[in-house]
Structure 1
C-alpha cells in the first residue's frame, strides 16, 4: 500500500481538511485547520505531498520525523498544522487498514467516555445566563467563557468588576455540581491577572485559561503561584519543547491543539510529558469534526485526560456546523455531558466527501478580527 494522492479542502467556517488516498482505494482524513491562515497551511501540505507520494502510509512515525525535521527551518504554527493534518489522516488510514479505532493502536482504552464542554458568551460575553442554560439543555455539565471582551492595559475598576460579575452569574446558573472554565485569551497583562484571579477564587472556576500570551510564558510561574485556581495554557504551543517551560512553571492543565501541535503523534508525547508534572490534558478544539475525533481518540488512550473542548454551536461557526460534514453524527452525540467511546475504525467518524467538496468550491476566507484600545493602539483579541 502506498500513498497515491493528497488533497486539501477549505471548508466553512474556517477549517482545512486533508484527504490522503492510497493505491488500494483506502482513504484517511485529517484536519490541518489554522484559523486565519488556511492558504499558508494548504501550500505547506502541498509541499509535503512531494515527499509523501509513493511512500508507505503506515510509517507514521518516520513520516512525522521527516516532515518536522527534514527542513533546516522548523517549527511554528504553519508547519506544525500541516504536519498535524497529515498525521491525523495517516492514523485514520492505519486504523481503517487494521479495522480498529486509533485508540486501540495507542494502547487501548483507559476510559469509556470523555466529558466535554461547550463555549458560551462569544468574544465579548453577555447574556451569560441564557447561553449557559442552552448548553445545559443539550446535556452538557461544563462550559467555558471568555473572562472579558477587550481588556484595558491595566484593567479598570469597571472592567475587573465586569469579569467577576459574569463569572458569578455563570456560577449561579451552574450551581455547585457543574463547572465553568474562564478563558483570559491572552488579553490581560500579568499584573491584571494577579489582580483579577483572587477575586474569582470563591467562584471556583474549573481552570483559568491562557492568562498571558504565549510569548510571555516566562511569567506563568508567578501567576500560578498567585492563585489557587488551576492555570491552563497551550493552544498556541506547538511541540513538547514549548510545553516543557510551562509545565515546569506550575500549570495544572495542558491544552495542546491536535490540529496545531503535531497531530496525534506529538500530542501523545505532550500528554506523557505532562503526566510527569501531574498535569491534566484538556486539548484545545474550537474546530471541525476531524480535529474533535482525533482528540477523542487520544483521550480514550490517555490516563491524564481531564475534559474535551468541542465547538458544536460555537459563535465562530457561521456558514457551517461541526456535524454538517459527518455522515453519521451518532459517534459525536452527547450522553450526560460526555461523548462515549467510538467503535468505528480509524478516527471513528465517516466524512461526507460530497459535502466537503461542495464546501471547498464556495469557501470564503476567515480572518482574525483586529481590536484596538480607545487610544487607537492594538489590543489583543
Structure 2
C-alpha cells in the first residue's frame, strides 16, 4: 500500500484552530492525524508540505521507518514544529494500518488492558469561593480527580506573588472542605520560577495537593532537581516535550511522577509508546495531555488501552469535544461519560472526518493571551 498524498488542514473548527493531516493511499484507505502545536498551525502545515515530497510512494505500513526518515531526514532533526507535523503523519499512518486490517490501533499495540480510562476534570474558576463551589459541584456529579488552573488565563497583568499566596490559601481551605479522598491537583502552566513554586508548595500543609502540573519550564533539568528538593508534592510534567530524548531526564531522574505525554506533539503513537515504556520502567503513570480535538483524544485512548501504566485522562472544559456537538466535522468522537472515556473497538483510531466540512472551514489568526507582571515584563500564559 503506497502513500499517494499528504494534506494538511490548518482550520478553525468549533472554537479554535486545529491542524489536521490526511494521508491517502493507492488502495483508497485514508488516515487522519492531528498536530498539537497550538497557535502555530501554519508552520506545521508548511513542514507537512516538505515531508509530502518524499513521502509519496512510500509503503504506508512501514510506520517505524517513516518515523525515522521524517525525524532524521534533515540536518536539523527534531524540534517542536517538525515533531508536531510528524505526530500528525504518524497517527494517520496507524489509522490507515488499523483500517486496512479492520482492527483498532490498540490491537496492533498488544490489545486492550482496560475498557475505559478514568478522567479528571478542570476548574478554571478564580481562586476564591467560586472555585470551592464548582469543585463541590464536580464532586456531587461523581468526579474523584479534580484539577484547578493557574487563576485568570486571560490576557492582562498577573501578580505572581499575590497569586501564589491566594491560591495556596484557597487550596488549603478547599482540601479541608472536600476531605482526603478526592485527588486534587493544579496546573501552573509553567508560570513560576523555582523560588515561586517552592514558596507556593510550602504555604500549604503536606498532603494538600496530589500533583503539581508544569510549575516551571521544562528545559532546565537542574531547575526541576532544585525544586524537587524543596517540596514533596508529586510533579506532572511533559506536555512540552517533543520526543523521548526530552522526556528521558525527567523520567530517569525522578522529576516527573506523572508523564504528561502529548501524542500530537511528542512524535505520534510510535514515540508515545516508547515514552510510556520508559515511564513504566520507573513506575511512573502516563497522564496524557489533551486540550485539542477528537483525533488527539482517540489516538491517546489507543495508547491508554495498550499500556499498563495509564493514570487519569484530561477532560478540559475548553476542549473541542464540546465544540462540535452537531457532528459537522467528526463522527464517533470520544465523549466522557460517568467521569470516564470508553475505549473504542472501531478500526483505526475510530474517528471519521468530514473532509468537505474541513475544506470549507477557514483558518483564523489567533495568538495566546499575553501575560505581564506588574512591572510590565512578560511572563508565561
Q: TM-score, normalised by structure 1?
A: 0.90
Q: 2:332, 2:304 → 1: CA distance?
A: 21
Q: Quick check: 1:67 aligned with 2:70?
A: yes
Aligned position for 1:115: 118
1:298 paired residue among 264, 282, 303 = 303
Aligned-residue offset at 1:135 = 4.7
Change (3 A) 1:239 1:83: same
Change (3 A) 1:345 1:365: same
Aligned position for 1:335: 337
Aligned position for 1:79: 82
Q: TM-score, normalised by structure 2?
A: 0.90
Change (3 A) 1:138 1:259: farther
Aligned-residue offset at 1:138 = 6.3
Is the 1:287–1:322 Cα contact (8 Å) retained in structure 2? Answer: no
Aligned position for 1:374: 374
Is the 1:231–1:252 Cα contact (8 Å) retained in structure 2? Answer: yes
Q: Quick check: 1:39 aligned with 2:42?
A: yes
Instruction: Tell me whether 96-105 or 343-352 shows the greater mean CA deviation.
Output: 343-352
Q: 2:21, 2:326 → 1: CA distance?
A: 17
Q: 1:125, 1:68 → 2: CA distance?
A: 42
Change (3 A) 1:334 1:133: farther
- Give 3-state SS (helix, strand or coil) of 2:367's partner: coil
Aligned-residue offset at 1:69 = 0.7
Matches within 5 A, 1:158-169: 158-168=162-172
2:145 paired residue among 142, 146, 154 = 142
Is the 2:184–2:210 Cα contact (8 Å) retained in structure 1? Answer: yes
Q: How many residues align?
A: 371
Is the 1:140–1:338 Cα contact (8 Å) retained in structure 2? Answer: no
Aligned position for 2:275: 270
Change (3 A) 1:188 1:327: same
Is the 2:165–2:203 Cα contact (8 Å) retained in structure 1? Answer: no
Aligned position for 1:11: 12
- Segments of 5+ residues of structure 1 without an aligned counterpart are none
Aligned-residue offset at 1:201 = 4.5
Q: 2:365, 2:140 → 1: CA distance?
A: 32
| Cα RMSD (Å) | 2.4
Q: 2:107, 2:248 → 1: CA distance?
A: 27
Matches within 5 A, 1:149-188: 149=152, 152=159, 155-156=160-161, 158-168=162-172, 170-171=174-175, 174-188=178-192
1:105 paired residue among 72, 91, 108 = 108
Q: 1:175, 1:103 → 2: CA distance?
A: 37
Q: Deviation digits for residues 226-274 of structure 1, max 9, x if unmatched?
A: 2222111111111111111112332211112111110100010011111
Aligned position for 1:231: 235
Aligned position for 1:357: 359
Is the 2:193–2:216 Cα contact (8 Å) retained in structure 1? Answer: yes
Change (3 A) 1:43 1:221: same
Q: 1:323, 1:243 → 2: CA distance?
A: 38
Instruction: Tell me whether 227-236 or 199-208 shows the greater mean CA deviation.
Output: 199-208
Q: Deviation digits for residues 294-326 of structure 1, max 9, x if unmatched?
A: 111001111111111133x31x76994488432
